[in-house]
């Protein structure tokens, strides 16, 4: 399915830093609850991400990631997920996070 440039530009992707990671035992699939700092304009948002077993909690803390920040919040097992953390889905359904290869300003736009 093709999309227009306008449709792509409507997706607000930003750089954030994971500042807190918790287990999420209520989720159907193994997941973590994340708090992500997107800088002074967007602030701190939370998300649920199916990152185990590829990532341990300590590997995620302070890591920069890319997330979509303009989807409506989604309730997952009673948890309010405010952003969609982006990753590459592997054949085994594990996720490899998308992240800047150099340190970036928090909240920087992805183009």
CATH number at residue 80: 2.40.50.140
Q: What is the pLDDT of residues 58-87, one digit of tens each?
A: 999 999 999 999 999 999 999 999 999 999
Per the domain annotation, does 86 fall within a domain? yes
- Give the residue numbers spanning the domain of 11: 5-97
Per the domain annotation, does 111 fall within a domain? no
Q: What is the pLDDT of residues 2-14, one digit of tens each?
A: 999 999 999 999 9
Per the domain annotation, does 71 fall within a domain? yes
Per the domain annotation, does 109 fall within a domain? no
In sequence order, what DSSP letters do the residues of the chain get, joined into one string?
A: ----HHHHHTS-EEEEEEEEEEE-TTSSSS-EEEEEE-HHHH-EEEEEE--TTTS-HHHHTT-EEEEE--SPPEEETTEEE-SEE-EEEPTTS-EEE---SS---TTPBP-
Per the domain annotation, does 27 fall within a domain? yes
Q: Whole-prediction pTM value?
A: 0.94
**For the chain, how many structural domains are there in total?**
1
Per the domain annotation, does 110 fall within a domain? no
């Amino acid at each position: 399915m093709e999309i227009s440039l306008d449709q792509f530009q409507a997706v607000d992707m930003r750089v954030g830093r994971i500042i807190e990671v918790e287990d999420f035992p209520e989720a159907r699939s193994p997941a973590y609850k994340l708090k992500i700092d997107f800088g002074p304009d967007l602030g701190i948002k939370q998300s649920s991400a199916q990152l185990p077993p590829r990532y341990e909690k300590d590997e995620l803390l302070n890591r920069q990631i890319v997330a979509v920040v303009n989807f409506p919040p989604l309730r997952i097992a009673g948890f309010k997920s405010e952003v969609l953390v982006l990753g590459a889905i592997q054949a085994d359904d594990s996720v490899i996070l998308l992240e800047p290869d150099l340190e970036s300003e928090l909240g920087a736009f992805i183009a």
